[in-house]
Structure 1
Amino acid sequence: MDLDHARTVAVEAAEAAGALLLEGTRGAVGVRAKGEAGDVVTDLDLASEKLLLERIMTAFPSHAVIAEESGLGGAAGGEWTWLVDPLDGTNNVAIGLSAYVVGVALCRGGLPVLGVVHDPVSSQTWSAIRGRGAVASSGARLAPPYAPSPHGPLLAWTQGYDVSRGDATVRGLKSALELKARRVLQLWAPLLSWAMLARGDIDGIVGYRAEAVDLPAGALLAREAGIEIRALDGGPFEECFDAPAEDRSFVAAHPKAMPGLLSLLKQV
């Protein structure tokens, strides 16, 4: 498998989808309910996904593809699976907030080996190949510095759509973070949070039962930039898309910041 070629295909597809989204958000966006958890889907999600699927399945007809809206497609049962999030931040777009990205990952045996995140608003793309680092579209390598603030860390929070508002663990975690962090961002666009962490714009991410489709691309991008990712109890964490929801809870931060965050979370 030529991962450089796969990255080229994924980057070009994500950027083409991003151009479609950017143009589409300049006009009226058709929004409708999705599921029973308050999620929504737009016409732009579907158009972006169609473009991404056509490009990926044409280039790799023997691979499986799991897309946010249409589910499993392609050649199921093989060792290679693509994950496609055509519009991460749909709820933001629905209310006119320009905070959204496109995400693509290629997985082998459940684990991502390639991750791409494209931000149409800033015209920036970040990508990573496992074991080979993470880069921006300029070619610059991502390596966020450790820059602790005396006012506490700047964190992002993400959780799966199926997590109930009354979940006791969520209440405990968020309360602890709000007390100790300088700010806790809830961006409604997890892949955007991962890109910010990989760049060094924020200090960490705490995730609870994260969504399977968007987790691998972002987590790989951050890992390859030098970010450490652990389970909430401090144990090892793998960003497998086929892991059960209870195994998709994590804390991600610079290695030097990780002990302090884990100490905070263990109090919950």
Structure 2
Amino acid sequence: MSIINGETDAHLAVRAAQAGAAVVRGLHGSLLARYDKSAGDFATEADVAAERAILDVLRAARPADAVTGEESGRSGAADARRRWLVDPLCGTLNYAVRTMLVGVNVALRDGDRVTAAATADPFSGEVFWTDGDTARVRAGDGTDAPLTPTARSALVDVNLDPPFPHAPGFRAVHLLADPGFAERFRPRVISSTLAVAWVAAGRRAAYVTDGDLRDSVHFAAGIALCRAAGCTVTGLSGEPVLTGADGLVAAADTATHAALLELVKNQTAGPR
């Protein structure tokens, strides 16, 4: 656990995520400027302002660290060992239509491992955080409780947003159509990686997505939370996650994980 200037990296991640969450919460419901990105995606004034607040906290405390922000891009040495990954508002489309299902993600990659991370829910006031070894949730009153994953709900959150590097062999929408999925699970789609933190917290049985998640500002925090909480976390074929364009299956337990991998495997190559 790194302690620099009297503050651990994990505590700094929490503080930075809370700073971003305060901006997101404060601007909710406002008429916000939009900034087009690509393929119909956009950022809002809240995304930009929240990222600025997060970076102000990180740079004041760790000026030598590199940063990758979803809106501002990469800064610092390209080969820096310590790099902060910042997603200031995960669920922008939700937020833009006043749907309060969003997360604020801050993670520190130190070498090849995420050693500190936090996902803040701006509207519940909760912050899910890890020091890389343990995972906890901080309530609005500042008290912490351990995260305890469980598959009891049978709720599986699935990311239906592109890109889909494994298509046509794997498409998340086909997973939902598999009769075996309906026999065991119930689908949910909140369109925010807040749901990955919910797997660690026992509020979801699992989370499934396609995509290349290496140094992902969206997923690094949630994956670190799930790992520290004791979830089973791999790519879509069971390979180590974050080693390529592997996607993600994060499950509360090994039985749920095995069932989902089998359902993924059942999908045949080619369009349906």
Q: What TM-score do the two structures reach when normalised by structure 1?
A: 0.86
RMSD: 2.3
Correspondences of 1:38-53 after superposition (within 5 Å): 38-53=40-55
SS of corresponding position for 1:169: coil
Query: Once the 2 structures are TM-superposed, how far is the Cα of residue 199 of structure 1 from its aligned partner?
Result: 1.1
Alignment correspondent of 1:98: 100
Query: Once the 2 structures are TM-superposed, how far is the Cα of residue 251 of structure 1 from its aligned partner?
Result: 4.4
1:221 pairs with 2:225:
yes
SS of corresponding position for 2:67: strand
SS of corresponding position for 2:123: coil
Equivalent residues of 1:228, 1:255 under 8 A apart: yes
Assess, with a 3 A threshold, how the Cα gap between structure 1 residues 221 and 203 changes in structure 2: closer, same or farther.
same
Give the one of 66, 70, 73 matched to 2:72.
70
Q: What TM-score do the two structures reach when normalised by structure 2?
A: 0.85
- Deviating above 4 A after TM superposition, structure 1's stretches of 4 or more consecutive aligned residues are none
After superposition, give the CA deviation of every residue in 1:99-151 in whole Å (9 maximum; x if it has no partner).
Answer: 111100000223211110110100001101222x101112211112342x6xx
Count how many residue pairs are aligned between Structure 1 and Structure 2.
256
| Partner amino acid, structure 1, of 2:65 | H
Equivalent residues of 2:24, 2:122 under 8 A apart: yes
| Partner amino acid, structure 1, of 2:137 | A
Query: Once the 2 structures are TM-superposed, how far is the Cα of residue 159 of structure 1 from its aligned partner?
Result: 5.4
| Partner amino acid, structure 2, of 1:233 | S
Task: List gaps (5 residues or longer) in structure 2.
Answer: 268-272
SS of corresponding position for 1:66: strand
1:60 pairs with 2:62:
yes
Cα separation, 2, equivalents of 1:69 and 1:91: 15
Give the share of equivalent positions with the same residue, in percent: 28
Assess, with a 3 A threshold, how the Cα gap between structure 1 residues 194 and 174 changes in structure 2: closer, same or farther.
same
SS of corresponding position for 1:44: helix
| Partner amino acid, structure 2, of 1:140 | A
Alignment correspondent of 1:9: 12
Alignment correspondent of 2:175: 173
Cα separation, 2, equivalents of 1:179 and 1:80: 42
Alignment correspondent of 1:256: 255
Alignment correspondent of 1:188: 191
After superposition, give the CA deviation of every residue in 1:70-98 in whole Å (9 maximum; x if it has no partner).
Answer: 11013432211100000011010111111
| Partner amino acid, structure 2, of 1:263 | E
Cα separation, 2, equivalents of 1:250 and 1:144: 14
